[in-house]
Amino acid sequence: MATAISEERKRIHPHKFTMWVALGSIVMMFAGLTSAYLVRQAQANWLEFDIPPVFWVSTVVILISSLTMYIALKAIRARLMQRYRLFITLTSLLGILFAVLQYSGFNYLYSHGVQVFGAGSNPSASFLGIIIGLHAVHVLGGVIALFVIFLRAYSARVKRYNVTSVEIISTYWHFVDILWIYLFIFLKWM
């Protein structure tokens, strides 16, 4: 009996495994996009421009949200529901703030004459739009997932402590954070 329980604990949850496969796919997609960026950058008509200053602020926001997600996960593991609710709420709000700041960054570019898509756009701006836009889609997915566990945290019907979904979302959220740091460094200094 004890052996069966220890074998069960060694297995990875199927949802966690699926999430890790998805994260591997996302890594490959962004590796391909940043490689294409470097190849295209070496060709003609590449427009040089600075990334919006608000992206620095959004970087700090997503780093803080990763910290609050970590604290929320620790809290639910310790069955401290009030603390968990507080930090999952903060993480959700910071995720929304990050998305708003990203949108503000694109408005900044547009107001400074950098058109990301359409007539009058430049390949460098379009690459920026595609790369950050795809990251924004992944952040939106994370914010939706955070909103779902936020609702569950405040639901009176949920009486058990199931940390698996919070662990999965926590891993995903930290991944989105690390991905943004990579993209920010790549775009800032490439």
Query: Which pLDDT value is given to residue 44?
Result: 80
> Would you state the structure tokens that stand for residue 29, as one six-digit string?
């997609």
> Would you state the structure tokens that stand for residue 63, as one six-digit string?
């780093």
Say whether pLDDT at 2 is over 80.
no
Q: What CA–CA distance (Å, rounded) separates 24 from 58?
A: 24
In tens, the pLDDT along 145-170 reads 999 998 888 886 756 667 899 999 99
Q: What CA–CA distance (Å, rounded) separates 143 from 12?
A: 24
> Would you state the structure tokens that stand for residue 30, as one six-digit string?
């962004």
With beta carbons less than 8 A apart as the criterion, state whether 133 and 29 touch: no
In tens, the pLDDT along 67-106 reads 999 999 999 999 998 999 999 999 999 999 999 999 999 8
In tens, the pLDDT along 114-149 reads 888 877 788 888 888 899 889 999 999 999 999 999
Residue with tokens 């930090």: 87
Query: Which pLDDT value is given to residue 169?
Result: 95
Distances (CA, A) of 53 to 2, 9, 56, 95: 57, 46, 6, 18
Domains along the chain?
A: 2-189 (1.20.120.80)
Q: In terms of pLDDT, which residue wins out, 112 or 28? A: 28
In tens, the pLDDT along 6-42 reads 555 678 888 889 999 999 999 999 999 999 999 988 8
Mean pLDDT of all residues belonging to the chain: 88
